[in-house]
Structure 1
């Protein structure tokens, strides 16, 4: 069928003209799109969308060049549109990923900063007080065990822990908020 006759029949809604167009160009268009994307399913989806769009817009479509060129260009544009929409989705996901990584890194940096400041404060404690604090809070020893290890009373351990905690509370408020 000549292109102009086929286009006229399509505009009139002739299903035989549409079927002819479909069987004549479908495989060719699928191969063309497949060569662009290397995905059979995507190629078929794009060509089918193009063919359905042609049928739906048959009354308003103005085809001045060859029908084959029109279909080729329409499929090509559909493929580019698919790439653009996927790129936008990818860009959005990529931005979210990098925002999350940045946030995690900032939190880790803040944690490292706070730990460094806290360690500096612990190092400012008097030696005996520091030793008792480390054994209790970092080594998880009980007051009784610390007192036995150091040969001092439990009351002394309590007093030293109280001094350490008061010192840390007073001096750590500036960076722990």
Structure 2
């Protein structure tokens, strides 16, 4: 088991290290600092056994952890503040004009929802768009409330995985959309 874990860890490190360093560089604007942050994160996940997560969850976890580590790193250096307008790394993270500009919010939402299995998507839409409670959904679809709960968990996990595998700004957009939707529903 230990040898398999080491091999899996090595493979994941070699696969994800360059991408995670680019993400970190986008925040800290220093190659050495970015590499240090990512290396320390890999050490941390090894020590906390987070490297045993399934691949999709591992990717999402690491992407979020890099961002949080960079923010913590920058908080410790308050005198190095740079405005967003002056940050060239942030503009490099913007979608290419021909790539994302012509995609409407509705199309982005449809693409994200398309990753969900039909039953899962129906339950998610009833809960988030119509604001129905799990009990109401279960009654309407003649399924158990526990099934609704499981399908919602699955939908959220799949949407997070989809967002993590897409453009970084899509993650922000989906998060904002879902939180706005929840605020609108609960008013």
Calculate the TM-score normalised by the size of structure 1: 0.39
TM-score, length of structure 2 as denominator length:
0.37
For the pair shown, the structure with the greater C-alpha radius of gyration is 1
